[in-house]
Structure 1
Amino acid sequence: MRDPLAEPSDLIRSVSRALRVLEAVGRAPRGLTVKQIARRCELTVATTYHLVRTLAYEGYVIRREDGTYIVGLEVADRYRELVAAFRGPASVGESLRRAAMETGYSHYVGRFVGGRVAITAAADGPRSPYLEDLVPGFDDGAHATALGKALLSTLTPDQRFRYLKEWGMRSFTAQTLTAPEAFEADLAAGDRRGMQLEMGQYRQGVGCAAVLVSTDKDMERRVVLACAMPAAELMTTARVVRNRLVTVAKELAEAMAADA
């Protein structure tokens, strides 16, 4: 939700409207007509027509034979560029893929982006349940994932409170922690063991573990490493999992330092 009070004085309205059109089309996988786009974006049909024509020319939307518009391939190209920028040096991806292949567990790297918890790189492992929501992008369940917990644990209690108040503590399963007090106790337990955990809090039967890769006064430079697996398997191998994560985290830290 955009904050009207934060609108810049030099806002270029045509650009803002074009982005609203692109967002509306992106939320409608079956496509939208110009009139439907205009209604959803609260624009005139004439203005919407010119915006859509421009976006189609640039490749950001595609006009189908039935007259509806869908997202164009240029959006996918921008997404790939964003993922590459988030991931960092190529060696980060190589380390993740190697860890996923050797352990069979899916591995993830996360950091704060614009003040929000985000997954910035991922490598799928054959022994981990498929988690379609855990892909590069913002983590809307930060309070329920080990990756999110590891990052949130680096904040002060006041900063954490504000974060959870703004983004909420949605219940994903019966095990999801939805009370700030319980969440604080869980983070404290993770700090003591040197690894944040979640067992079935994000997805029933799935467990995740996470450790810090690097810390910094600048929250946007803090990085964590996580992996996912069947919860029952994590319960019996937690210490081994932690040792492996710490080893991979050191590799990532060295790769990032070398790149910097």
Structure 2
Amino acid sequence: MVVRDPLAEPSDLIRSVSRALRVLESVGRAPKGLTVKQIARRCELTVATTYHLVRTLAYEGYVIRREDGTYIVGLEIADRYRELVGAFRGPPAVGESLRRAVLDTGYSHYLGRFVGGQVAITAATEGPRSPYLEDLVPGFDEGAHATALGKTLLATLTTEQRLRYLRESGMRPFTTGTLTTTEAFEADLAAGERRGMQLELGQYRPGVACAAVLVSADKDVERRVALACALPASEMMTSARVVRAKLLATARGIADYLVDDT
């Protein structure tokens, strides 16, 4: 859930739009559905105001009224999500590059970059030889400190910027192997720089490894792109050099497509 800073509220804030979005967020967090009264209570709105907002959202397709009178998220949300994923991923050739990498290796591949100052997964293509990671889908990556993708992007920041990011995001221990101190994290990044590839072994999920390389090192933070793949930790132990070579080859191709798209 987004935590809004009341001091940053714009002077020209449109209250009705803000309330409608709060309603949509509340419905989205309740997969079993909510009645108008429940939505009103959660959003701290009057029932009458909530009723008008819900009717408008239903008309536009963003919520659906079920026979029992509860509301759930509508299909328009899925359409907006697909558009967001497409915008994140970039030109079609980028998606094709990921699919070719998956066919070649069998491993799931991911792209990521900074969005609004936060590490975000921007594209994901599943591979049959990789463990399924339900959290690694396009969207914000809350485990940037525990994934190779996140490490690769964070390594492009200055030390001060990186420490501020970790301080604000926290260093949640996903497994017993997760790095939870900035000292350990900085040492791990340095090892990755020497290796030419950031790695994590069981830091995000037990028995799963992830490797990542930088695709684009643009001066603009939000144009920096990283490529990663996930595989069983046991395979990473024996195939790290091959994984690195294939990641770098795929990254070079993607970089060319990103340049052509600018």
TM range (shorter): over 0.9
Correspondence for 2:61:
59
Partners in 2 of 1:183 and 1:2 — Cα distance?
A: 29
The corresponding residue for 2:47 is: 45
1:230 Cα deviation (Å)? Answer: 0.1
**What residue number does 1:158 align with?**
160
Alignment of 1:220-239 (within 5 A): 220-239=222-241
Aligned AA for 2:260? A
Shift of 1:152: 0.3
Tell me the distance in 2 between the aligned counterparts of 1:38 and 1:162.
37
Q: Which residue of 2 aligns with 1:248?
A: 250
Indicate the residue corresponding to 2:124 in structure 1: 122
Helix, strand or coil at the partner of 1:201: coil
Displacement, 1:88?
Answer: 0.2
* Per-residue deviation, residues 175-230 of structure 1 (Å, max 9, x unmatched): 00011110010001001100000000000000000000010111000001000000
Matches of residues 33-182 of structure 1 in structure 2 within 5 Å? 33-182=35-184
Q: CA deviation at 1:85?
A: 0.3
Give 3-state SS (helix, strand or coil) of 2:242's partner: helix
Q: Distance in 2 between matches of 1:240 and 1:122?
A: 21
SS of the residue 1:9 aligns to:
coil
The AA in structure 2 aligned to 1:193 is: R
What does residue 189 of structure 1 align with?
191
**One-letter code aligned to 1:53:** R
Q: Which runs of 5+ in 2 are unaligned?
A: none
Give, in whole Å, the separation in 2 of the partners of 1:161 and 1:44.
43
Q: CA deviation at 1:43?
A: 0.5
Structure 1 residue 122 displacement after superposition: 1.1
- Report the equivalent of 2:20: 18
Amino acid corresponding to residue 248 of structure 2 in structure 1: V
Q: Distance in 1 between matches of 2:90 and 2:10?
A: 31
Secondary structure of the equivalent of 1:28? coil
- Paired letter, 1:102: D
In 2, Cα distance between the equivalents of 1:100 and 1:46? 52
Query: What's the offset of the Cα at 1:134?
Result: 0.4
How far apart are residue 236 of structure 1 and its match? 0.9
Match of 1:32 in 2: 34
Separation of aligned partners in 1, 2:29 and 2:42: 11
Letter in 2 for 1:82: L
2:45 & 2:239 partners in 1: Cα distance?
A: 57
Letter in 1 for 2:7: L
Please report how far the alpha carbon of residue 170 of structure 1 lies from its aligned counterpart in structure 2 after TM superposition: 0.5
Letter in 2 for 1:254: D
Q: Cα RMSD (Å) of the superposition?
A: 0.5
Distance 2:259 2:161 in 1: 27
Q: Work out the number of aligned pairs and report it.
A: 260
Question: Once the two structures are superposed, what CA deviation does each residue of 1:104-124 show, in whole Å capped at 9, x if it has no partner?
Answer: 000001000010000101111
What is the CA–CA distance in structure 2 between the aligned matches of 1:40 and 1:167, rounded to whole Å?
Answer: 26
Tell me the distance in 1 between the aligned counterparts of 2:161 and 2:260: 31
Instruction: Report the Cα distance in structure 2 between the residues aligned to 1:27 and 1:165, rounded to whole angstroms.
Output: 27
d(CA) in 2 for partners of 1:137 and 1:90?
19
Name the SS for the 1:126 alignment partner: coil
Instruction: Give the alignment's TM-score, normalised by structure 2.
Output: 0.99
Return the offset for 1:259: 1.5
Instruction: Please list every run of 5 or more consecutive structure 1 residues that lacks an aligned counterpart in the other structure.
Output: none
